[in-house]
Chain A
Amino acid sequence: MSAITQRKQDALTDRLASMTLPEGGAWITEARRAALARLKSMGLPGPRDEYWRFTPPDTLNAAETPEAAVLDHGDETPVFSDFDRLKLVFVDGVFRSDESSDLTLEGIEIERLADVMSTDIHWAKDLYGKLETRAQTPVARPHAALNTAFATEGLLIRVTGKIAKPISVYYRHENATSDCYMHHVIRLEPGAEATVLENGPAAARFNKVMEVEVGDGARFHHIRAQGRDHERRAVTGLFVRQGAESLFKSFTLTANGRLTRNEAYIELTGPDASAHIAGAALGHGDFHHDDTVFIRHEAENCESRQVYKKVLQKGATGTFQGKILVERGAQRTDGYQKSQSLLLDDDAVFLAKPELEIYADDVACSHGSTTGAIDEDMLFYLRARGVDKHTAMDLLVLAFVAEAMEEIEDEGYRQELVGRLEAWLIRRRQE
């Protein structure tokens, strides 16, 4: 074993030293054991790993949870509070039934992983850890395997119809050393439609996996706001498999957070499907945000779109690794990828690794990655009309992220997040 591999194994041994696989029924135990075996063959990420060169994995790997102060939100209401929704609350990774809505809703079955773990058979068996496994090639995702092996909380959601209300998952962080694994499985039966909202910082260190199967003709919208706690860390995996004529749209807003690694793996397995994934990340100071996205086109005539915007300053780092893989036979693929950063001073860093890998001949794929500063002419034009410098900068920042925000199809949710962002920009100036 090479020294590098040895270090990855040592990190894993360290991490697992005081952990034991949770008890459960046959289906979950099988999934957990398989995940642990996968994990052991990979080790934890090291700084030399191809997809970890931009992001130091040590604090995500560490056996001891790095502390993260809990932010006092004052009288600020949590994101999405004003929407009619089915609300599910987790505090430091633990479900709170007293704060959550009743889980029954027409066209959807919602169960907690903690409640069905002891059963020997469950529909989630076909997806739990299975989509994660598919996402492990060609890029290893050890934290996701760790999650599959050790998570005891999460939601198992089966959507059979068109859901009247969004499912709103609210994660609260109250404990400065909480280390939490959360594993959601969502299956949309053919033709079903649902929207899942997520908000909040979840824990001092949050490891989340969300596996989503979007059946033929089904439509899924995912909108997430990762909270604005400054010190929290998160590694998340969004693993998706889409059937024919399905739609998957996911948007993530991240403002603050010491370290965020958002991975996504989307597989388009049936023709005429469409996958959109987008994000806006804003940070200053001790802020590191990483989007690592992999989209695999396996069927004909599918469309995929990635739009990522980052606004960085005062030492903040943003990274983007995005790949479009078009398999042989995935003719008439339309793939689009855009990742841009706006650096508000000279002391911020943006690292990007855009990739295209194409094995079909009739495809249209494009990618573009840019880094820029505030446009002085635009800034002057606004100021010459009487808009003060800070407000003018905010307008230009909002304009910069607008293309990503536009990926939120529903006007109401978009307005909600744009409003939060405006407030965040103003608050940041006063800090």
Chain B
Amino acid sequence: MLEIKDLHVKLEEEDKAILKGVNLEVPAGKVHAIMGPNGSGKSTLSYVLSGKGGYVVTGGEAALDGEDLLALEPEERAAAGLFLAFQYPVEIPGVGNMTFMRTAVNAQRKARGQDELSATDFLKEIRAKAKELQIDAEMLKRPVNVGFSGGEKKRNEILQMAMLEPKMCILDETDSGLDVDAMKLVSEGVNALRDAGRAFLVITHYQRLLDHIQPDVVHIMSDGRIVKSGGPDLALDVEKNGYADLLVESA
């Protein structure tokens, strides 16, 4: 599903390399996790894949189902089925959450040659999905993420994911800021979407999330590279011993 080969990325504003040859393959139906120290480049990878400005790809490639992601506009990547749950969801005063979601859902349907959802169908669907994530109707009426608590923002990300039904979902620290119950809700939301045609890349610092969303493979990122990959046990290892030993090993 997602294939990243020797991806090199630097900042646009300064000559600073952030990603220094990332290789990663996430097949359909699988859940991969990325862990790694602060500043190792995890979020940068998620941004570059989804098309955020400010970065320059200096080498390598990234493809979604064989389609060159790096050649597409951000909205085209979304329409192709890529979704990023942001580490820091953006507040947009003046744009209603509902308007935003309806515009997004219909834009993607249009890009894929499907009919737009009628206002009633859209409402029915979003209400049902919001309920599952225990997002109350009031929150849907408010401006996008404005005045939402940290946990509410993260749940709102998962609601968007549930509405858009992407095939490649990247979750960047969706667990941070979530209380125990919210973590369960969010994980259930993610697990409900797991199927043979969909893949997940879960960026996290904690084993806790991976207890709920069981990964098939765990990768460790350090200084702009994937330095180690392994089974779910690798996350347990990190939880217990930190990164120091792992990084020495791989150096």
Chain A contact residues, CB within 8 Å of chain B: 376-378, 380-389, 391-392, 395-396, 398-400, 402-403
Q: How far is the CA of A396 from the CA of B99 in the complex (A)?
A: 12
Q: In the assembled complex, which residues on chain A have CB atoms less than 8 Å from the CB atom of B84?
A: 384
Q: Are B94 and A402 in contact (CB under 8 A)?
A: yes
Q: Are A383 and B92 in contact (CB under 8 A)?
A: no
A396 nearest CB across to chain B (Å): 7
Within 8 A of A (CB), among B142-173: 143-144, 160, 164
CB<8 Å pairs between A and B, sample of 23: A377-B90, A378-B92, A380-B53, A380-B74, A380-B90, A381-B89, A381-B90, A381-B92, A383-B73, A384-B50, A384-B52, A384-B78, A384-B84, A385-B104, A385-B107, A386-B108, A386-B164, A387-B75, A395-B95, A395-B100, A400-B94, A402-B94, A403-B94
Q: In the assembled complex, which residues on chain B have CB atoms less than 8 Å from the CB atom of A377?
A: 90
A-B contacts counted at CB < 8 A amount to: 77
Q: Are B74 and A396 in contact (CB under 8 A)?
A: no
Q: In the assembled complex, which residues on chain A have CB atoms less than 8 Å from the CB atom of B73?
A: 383, 388-389
**What 8 additional pairs, Cβ within 8 angstroms, besides A388-B75, A389-B75, A395-B100?**
A380-B74, A382-B92, A384-B84, A386-B75, A387-B100, A395-B99, A395-B103, A396-B94
Q: How far is the CA of A398 from the CA of B95 in the complex (A)?
A: 8
Q: How far is the CA of A219 from the CA of B50 in the complex (A)?
A: 52
Cβ 8 A contact of B100, one of A376, A382, A403? A382
Q: How far is the CA of A388 from the CA of B109 in the complex (A)?
A: 12
B93 at the interface (CB under 8 A from A): yes
Q: In the assembled complex, which residues on chain B have CB atoms less than 8 Å from the CB atom of A400?
A: 94
Q: In the assembled complex, which residues on chain A have CB atoms less than 8 Å from the CB atom of B108?
A: 385-386
B243 at the interface (CB under 8 A from A): no
Q: Are A383 and B51 in contact (CB under 8 A)?
A: yes
Q: In the assembled complex, which residues on chain B have CB atoms less than 8 Å from the CB atom of A395?
A: 95, 99-100, 103
Q: Are B86 and A386 in contact (CB under 8 A)?
A: no
B52 nearest CB across to chain A (Å): 5
Cβ 8 A contact of B86, one of A381, A392, A396, A398? A381
Q: Are B75 and A380 in contact (CB under 8 A)?
A: no
Cβ 8 A contact of A399, one of B53, B77, B95, B107? B95
Closest 5 CB pairs of A and B: A399-B94, A386-B78, A383-B74, A385-B104, A386-B108
Q: How far is the CA of A334 from the CA of B99 in the complex (A)?
A: 34
Q: How far is the CA of A402 from the CA of B95 in the complex (A)?
A: 9
Q: In the assembled complex, which residues on chain B have CB atoms less than 8 Å from the CB atom of A389?
A: 73, 75
A280 nearest CB across to chain B (Å): 12
Chain B contact residues, CB within 8 Å of chain A: 50-53, 73-75, 77-79, 84, 86, 89-90, 92-95, 99-100, 103-104, 107-108, 111, 143-144, 160, 164
A279 nearest CB across to chain B (Å): 17
Q: A387-B104, A389-B75 are in contact. Are A376 and B53 (CB under 8 A)?
A: yes
A287 nearest CB across to chain B (Å): 23
Q: Which residue on chain A has the smallest CB distance to residue B88?
A: A377
Q: How far is the CA of A424 from the CA of B13 in the complex (A)?
A: 36
Q: How far is the CA of A402 from the CA of B99 in the complex (A)?
A: 14
Q: Which residue on chain A has the smallest CB distance to residue B92?
A: A378
Q: In the assembled complex, which residues on chain A have CB atoms less than 8 Å from the CB atom of B78?
A: 383-386
A101 nearest CB across to chain B (Å): 35
Say whether chain A's binding surface is mostly helix, strand, loop, or mixed: helix
Q: Are A399 and B92 in contact (CB under 8 A)?
A: yes
Q: In the assembled complex, which residues on chain A have CB atoms less than 8 Å from the CB atom of B90?
A: 377-378, 380-381
A386 nearest CB across to chain B (Å): 4
Q: Are B92 and A398 in contact (CB under 8 A)?
A: no
Q: A376-B53, A380-B74 are in contact. Are A387 and B92 (CB under 8 A)?
A: no
Q: Which residue on chain A has the smallest CB distance to residue B104?
A: A385
Cβ 8 A contact of B51, one of A384, A399, A402? A384
Q: How far is the CA of A34 from the CA of B35 in the complex (A)?
A: 81
A55 nearest CB across to chain B (Å): 28
Q: Are A391 and B95 in contact (CB under 8 A)?
A: no
B122 nearest CB across to chain A (Å): 14
Q: Which residue on chain A has the smallest CB distance to residue B145?
A: A381
Q: Are A386 and B94 in contact (CB under 8 A)?
A: no
Q: In the assembled complex, which residues on chain A have CB atoms less than 8 Å from the CB atom of B99?
A: 395
Q: How far is the CA of A400 from the CA of B75 in the complex (A)?
A: 22
Q: Are B95 and A386 in contact (CB under 8 A)?
A: no
Q: How far is the CA of A341 from the CA of B17 in the complex (A)?
A: 36
Q: A380-B52, A395-B100 are in contact. Are A387 and B94 (CB under 8 A)?
A: no
A9 nearest CB across to chain B (Å): 48
Q: Are A387 and B103 in contact (CB under 8 A)?
A: yes
Q: In the assembled complex, which residues on chain A have CB atoms less than 8 Å from the CB atom of B77?
A: 384
Q: Which residue on chain A has the smallest CB distance to residue B108?
A: A386
Q: Which residue on chain B has the smallest CB distance to residue A397?
A: B94
Q: How far is the CA of A388 from the CA of B144 in the complex (A)?
A: 17
B186 nearest CB across to chain A (Å): 18
Q: How far is the CA of A168 from the CA of B67 in the complex (A)?
A: 56
Q: In the assembled complex, which residues on chain A have CB atoms less than 8 Å from the CB atom of B164?
A: 385-386
Q: How far is the CA of A391 from the CA of B73 in the complex (A)?
A: 14
B129 nearest CB across to chain A (Å): 15
Q: How far is the CA of A388 from the CA of B108 in the complex (A)?
A: 9
Q: In the assembled complex, which residues on chain B have CB atoms less than 8 Å from the CB atom of A380?
A: 51-53, 74, 90
Q: In the assembled complex, which residues on chain B have CB atoms less than 8 Å from the CB atom of A383?
A: 51, 73-75, 78
Q: How far is the CA of A378 from the CA of B77 in the complex (A)?
A: 17
Q: Are A388 and B107 in contact (CB under 8 A)?
A: yes
Among B53, B74, B144, B160, max chain A CB count under 10 A is at B74
B192 nearest CB across to chain A (Å): 20
Cβ 8 A contact of A384, one of B74, B92, B93, B94? B74
Q: How far is the CA of A380 from the CA of B90 in the complex (A)?
A: 9
Q: Are A386 and B107 in contact (CB under 8 A)?
A: yes
Cβ 8 A contact of A396, one of B53, B95, B107, B111? B95
Q: How far is the CA of A391 from the CA of B53 in the complex (A)?
A: 18
Q: How far is the CA of A392 from the CA of B92 in the complex (A)?
A: 11
Q: In the assembled complex, which residues on chain A have CB atoms less than 8 Å from the CB atom of B111?
A: 386
Q: Which residue on chain B has the smallest CB distance to residue A400?
A: B94
Q: In the assembled complex, which residues on chain B have CB atoms less than 8 Å from the CB atom of A386?
A: 75, 78-79, 104, 107-108, 111, 164
A395 nearest CB across to chain B (Å): 5
Q: How far is the CA of A383 from the CA of B52 in the complex (A)?
A: 9
A21 nearest CB across to chain B (Å): 49
